[in-house]
A and B are shown apart, each in its own frame.
Chain A
Amino acid sequence: MGVERTHVGLAPDGRWVSVTCVSETMQEDWQWGFRLTSRTMAVGVTVARADFLDFLIEDGGLRQVQQVTYRGQSLTLYYDRADENWVAGLRSTHHSLTIAGTIPPKDSETKAPTLKAIVALLDQLVVKDVPQGLTLDPHPGSGITMWAITGQKVTDAGPITLYRRAEATGLLSTEPGLAVQGGEVWKKTLGGEDGGLGRKYVHAGETAVCMIDDDLGVLPWVTKAGQEQLLTTLKVSWG
């Protein structure tokens, strides 16, 4: 039997997000992902706990290419094993900031960004790191936009991906869903039949939409009762 848990975090765009649900477990820290576009670069960004880079290095087999000290913090450029992807990681006090992209083929006219280009990008952002979250604020006139921001929380009933409702209307059905305490719920299958990986629950509240992987039969600790408990008690607010 789970207990009611509420976690409040600061999203990278400076908005406060709170998640309440009854669950046996819920990951304490937050992981955020989004796209960032500047006048010269289009990259994927992850904000996660401070040791997330260590996990990436170990699990993703990243090798260090260059490293500098940026505003007193370590900024490292990595390539993956196959030299197909680059990752720039800034280790901050409470969180890590990871910027990543694809390395163009050797015969391509475009090149992977240099450390100078990454530093130039960071110089156009005000990065503020507090225990509740790490925020990025583009300088006025920099032309930088941040979009498709998602949050992630892992519970014993499956991982939850959170979206701001204004950015996730495409996930919602036109048919009414099952009414629950925190909004409506739909069951969906995305991307065809793939052995269960595409099965999702979509939970929509007033300000947020959540996608919960239906891992029943995939992860041994996920139970039907746990899923029902999560879906019927989940309340998400995206400020």
Chain B
Amino acid sequence: MTGVLLSLLVTAWVAIALLAFGYAGLLGQIRQIKDQHVRSVTPQNTFPELAAPSATSRTIALALTTSCGTCETVFEPWLELEKQLVADGHRTALISMDGVDVWSERGAKEVVQAGELTSALLISFQPALLVFDAAGDLISADPVGSADALSILCRQ
């Protein structure tokens, strides 16, 4: 009788051990799938060229095209707003989405061509205010529909 009970106990422990191994394997697979997902998504949202100067600061970039009316409206106010952003320790940049640089000669300090970035900048709207962290990760993208909206977004 004792022998039967002992063998049942051993069988139960073996079953528990197998379940634990199976669970650990399952967790490993989930982790692997998550890693693959992160690897497939991250590169599109990381732009080392636009990395902020430090962990506590941000790069704040205004993305414009020459064919959008509001882009023209917000450009001059942007030149004023970026002075304050730089004074606060942030990096500022102007991203030309259509490859045309009319902005440098009009006073923009740093103009980045979207087509020359290491990843495709897939923004469906312009003007757009983009914020990047020290790793160059795009952490927010807001449509800018007026000079007032730009001012509010830059103060946030």
Contacts and interface: CB of A to CB of B under 8 A. Distances in A.
Contact of A69 (B126, B142, B146): B126
B124 A123 contact: yes
A70 B126 CA distance: 7
Contacts of B128: 68
A228 to B, nearest CB: 51
A73 to B, nearest CB: 10
A65 B126 contact: no
Interface string A56-97: 000000000111111100111100000000000000000000
A119 interface: yes
Interface string A98-138: 00000000000000000110010011000000000000000
A66 B68 CA distance: 13
Interface residues of A, number: 16
Contacts of A74: 69
B23 to A, nearest CB: 28
A77 B124 contact: no
A211 to B, nearest CB: 37
B145 to A, nearest CB: 2
B145 A69 contact: no
B149 interface: yes
A115 B143 contact: yes
A119 B69 contact: no
Given A116-B142, A116-B143, A119-B143, A66 B149 contact: yes
Nearest to B69: A67
A13 B149 CA distance: 34
A69 B149 contact: no
A67 B124 CA distance: 14
B149 A70 contact: no
Contacts of B125: 68-71, 75, 119
Interface in B50-107: 65, 67-71
Interface in B113-147: 124-128, 142-146
A69 B144 contact: no
A75 to B, nearest CB: 7
A67 B67 contact: no
17 contacts: A65-B146, A66-B146, A67-B146, A68-B70, A68-B126, A68-B128, A68-B144, A69-B67, A69-B68, A69-B125, A70-B124, A76-B145, A77-B145, A116-B142, A119-B124, A119-B125, A122-B124
